[in-house]
Amino acid sequence: MSAAERMTKLTISLGQLQIKLARVEDNLESAERMISQAAARDSQLIMLPELWSTGYDLENAGDYAHELGAGMFAQLSNIARDQSIAVFGSILERRGDQFMNCAAYYDAAGGLAGVYRKIHLFRLFDEHKWLGEGEAPTMVDLPWGPAGLSICYDLRFPELFRRYAVEQSAKLILICAEWPLVRVEHWRALLIARAIENQCFVAATNSCGDTGGTVFAGHSMIVDPWGAVIAEADEDEGLVTAEIDLDEVDRVRRAIPVFEDRRPDAYLTR
């Protein structure tokens, strides 16, 4: 899409859910309610948490996972189309003989615009025992600008976000997560840091409340390229909505041309 054809202002809703472990229909009902509320607010995109339909019931992944285009993926496509709103969040995918933590971006017509499979598996939740590793970053060319996709634990690996910003000119990073309350300060600090160092917007949706004995942090956030938090949820279930202007990314990058002063020859190693 050419720059002349792009819109610059995007209204995002963050759907912060308390996920009910292994209760797919209950979680879907909650998600559909939030998607409808976001559409009523004229949001163009709603973001749902990581593994929002099941939580971390990974040992039973075979009971929930479907191939792209089937099962929950098909339902999300239909919901996005019916509500005329883009939807992003991760669910379990069956891919050959593996199960993947798969974040899919459906546009407002229900089309599958991008698929990201989690690269960094979180050993503390035994993801490595049950899931396959994603193999590559994923960019989506949105009407508002290029965006990079990521999931939860990826936030601790700045190299991924640097690639999105420097090599692929991302103006927006989307993150869906189940981040525990015990490490909420890490969550907040890292979201702000990723926005500042990459001079882009970061939008992140987390789960909240007790799911399977772990209390999740909430604090879903949208951070601007200066590192200012322009929207943040508390620790309860709810929907947070804000408008961002992607032109702000260009203004910040012109004001402080950090990328032009990088010296990868001096400090990057294999």
Q: Give CA–CA dist 93/101, Å, rounded.
A: 6
The answer to whether 64 touches 54, Cβ cutoff 8 Å, is yes
DSSP string, 183-236: GHHHHHHHHHHHHHHHTSEEEEE--EEEETTEEEE---EEE-TTS-EEEE--SS
Q: List beta partners, residue 140.
A: 147
Q: Is residue 25 annotated as part of the catalytic site, yes or no?
A: no
Q: Give CA–CA dist 75/110, Å, rounded.
A: 10
Q: 50, 93, 127, 178: which is the annotated catalytic residue?
A: 50
| Residue 228 phi, psi (nearest 5) | -80, 135
Q: 20, 93, 102, 118: which is the annotated catalytic residue?
A: 118
Q: 152, 176, 200, 208: which is the annotated catalytic residue?
A: 152
9 exposure class (CB count in 10 Å sphere: 0-12, 13-18, 19+) = exposed
Q: Per 3-state DSSP, what percentage of the chain is helix, strand, and coil (rounded to 5)? A: 35, 30, 35
The answer to whether 53 touches 20, Cβ cutoff 8 Å, is no
Residue 30's SS3 state is helix
Q: Is residue 50 annotated as part of the catalytic site, yes or no?
A: yes
Q: Is residue 118 annotated as part of the catalytic site, yes or no?
A: yes
Active site residues: 50, 118, 152
